[in-house]
Structures are given as C-alpha cells and as structure tokens.
C-alpha cells in the first residue's frame, strides 16, 4: 500500500470512530508521527494534505523540518518525546506544540526561552498514567499541583494532557483517567492513542491521536 492509501485509511477510521462515539466530525486531529523518516519519506504525506506532524527528538527534527516548513506553509510540528532542559531553546524555536512538559525544571526552561524568543508554542503536560518507572511523565496524583504551578508561578497556559499507556495493558482505563484529570484541572485537549489504539482513544475523548507506523510503515 502507498502512503496516501494508508493515510486515507487512518483518516476514515478516525472519522468512523468519531461518528460511533457521537462526536462531531473533525473533532479529532491526526498528528502524523514521522520520527525516523527523512524529508523524502515525509513529503508524500504533506502532498496528501497532512499538515500536523509529531517528532520525538529535537536534534533529528532540526535536520529535516526547517526545510519542510519552508517548502509548505501551515505545518504544525509537535514534540512528543522527552525534552532535556538544555534543548529548550531549540524546542521553542522549532516546535508549535510541546506535548512532553513533565517537571518543574523543564517548565522553567521553557518559560524563560518563550520569553527570550517571544514565541509561544502551545504546551501539554505528559502524564505517566501507568506509573512506569522507565517512562517520562508526571504521576497522576502530582499533575494538578504541577499544572497550577505552571499557570500561576510561570504564567504558562497548559492546553492539553498527553499519555502513553503501558504497552501490555488495555489502554481504555488510561485514556479514561487522562480525560478525568484534564476535566478536573480545566485542561481542554487530550493527546492519546497511537497506531494500535487510536480508535479506542477517540471513544474516550481524544482531541488528537499520534499515529506513526500505520501511516509511514514499520520503523
Ligand atoms: C512513536 C510514537 C507514537 C507513534 O507510534 P505508532 O505506534 O508508530 O503509531 C506516538 N506517540 C509517541 C509519544 C511516540 O513516541
């Protein structure tokens, strides 16, 4: 199958899931995860009309996205991988949405870079819903205080929450937890669902799904 066909398939499955869950058509955004694929492999997705992309590494993104962004206007780039505070300057410069804010040090570094560059990428807090030690993200219990801290101490507006459920578990309860946490803290957006579970995520209220291999093929 060609990339265009796979992309269309994902789009129509999202639309069907929206419909089945009684959600308005177009309420879920597709973030096409292009990590490990080079500019040549990404261009067909842009040609097929895709504009929102996700990457998990700042340095890898710097090697392809400045050029791709110059070629086509309206590209929206999401950082979906862990961020080191010494990369906050590069992340603020390149990304439109940073989905992996998960600790004070990063929040502070982002706040000061956003001020310095007069640039305001939208921010999501990553929540480690499965409390997995190897995984990034703040613990669910610590999320409300952290979001309050970002808002009141740093003046950051937190637009969304993001999670990656444990690979071996049923993702539904994790998506439900993320939705509950967001509602409690007055956070609007929910980034959840990947190639294997994005339809489930739509049913649980995802406002964006991050789909890589189902579009670009195996990595
Ligand atoms: C790689 C990645 C994805 C996409 O995963 P697929 O299973 O290829 O769809 C989504 N979210 C994050 C955070 C990722 O790192």
Read out DSSP for 125-187? Answer: EEB-TT--TTS-SB-GGGHHHHHHHHHHTT---EEEEE----TTS-SHHHHHHHHHHHHHHT-
Q: Is residue 2 classed as helix, strand or coil in its secondary structure?
A: coil
Report the pLDDT value the prediction gives residue 103, as an integer from 0 to 100.
98
- Is any ligand 1 atom within 6 A of the Cβ of residue 195? yes
Report the pLDDT value the prediction gives residue 166, as an integer from 0 to 100.
98
- Stretch 75-91: mean pLDDT: 97
29 pairs with which residues across the strands?
A: 208
Closest by Cα among 98, 92, 90 to 123: 98
Helix, strand, coil fractions of the chain, as percent rounded to 5:
45, 15, 35
Q: What tens digit of pLDDT does each residue of 149-159 get? A: 999 999 999 99
Q: Is 195's pLDDT higher than 90?
A: yes
Compute, in angstroms, the gap from residue 116 CA to the centroid of ligand 1.
31
Average pLDDT, the chain: 98
- Is any ligand 1 atom within 6 A of the Cβ of residue 112? no
Q: What tens digit of pLDDT does each residue of 117-133 get? A: 999 999 999 999 999 99
Compute, in angstroms, the gap from residue 80 CA to the centroid of ligand 1.
8
In this prediction, residue 1 has a pLDDT band, given cuts at 50, 70 and 90, of confident
Closest by Cα among 43, 83, 47, 49 to 67: 43
Report DSSP state, residue 96. Answer: S
Ligand 1 atom with the shortest distance to the CA of 198: 9
Q: Is residue 124 classed as helix, strand or coil in its secondary structure?
A: strand
């Amino acid at each position: 199958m060609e990339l265009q066909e796979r992309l269309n398939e994902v789009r129509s499955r999202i639309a069907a899931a929206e419909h089945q869950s009684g959600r308005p058509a177009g309420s879920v955004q597709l973030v096409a995860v292009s990590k490990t694929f080079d500019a040549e492999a990404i261009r067909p997705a842009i040609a097929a009309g895709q504009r929102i992309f996700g990457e998990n590494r700042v340095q890898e993104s710097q090697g392809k996205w400045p050029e791709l962004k110059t070629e086509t206007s309206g590209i929206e780039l999401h950082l979906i991988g862990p961020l080191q505070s010494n990369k906050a300057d590069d992340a603020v410069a390149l990304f439109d949405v940073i989905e992996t804010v998960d600790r004070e040090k990063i929040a502070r570094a982002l706040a000061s870079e956003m001020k310095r560059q007069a640039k305001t990428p939208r921010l999501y807090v990553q929540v480690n819903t499965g409390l997995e030690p190897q995984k990034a993200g703040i613990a669910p219990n610590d999320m409300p205080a952290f979001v309050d801290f970002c808002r009141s101490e740093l003046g950051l507006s937190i637009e969304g929450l993001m999670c990656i459920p444990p690979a071996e578990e049923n993702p539904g309860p994790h998506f439900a937890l993320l939705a509950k946490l967001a509602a409690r803290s007055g956070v609007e957006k929910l980034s959840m669902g990947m190639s294997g579970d994005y339809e489930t995520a739509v049913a649980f209220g995802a406002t964006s799904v991050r789909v890589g291999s189902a579009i670009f093929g195996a990595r």
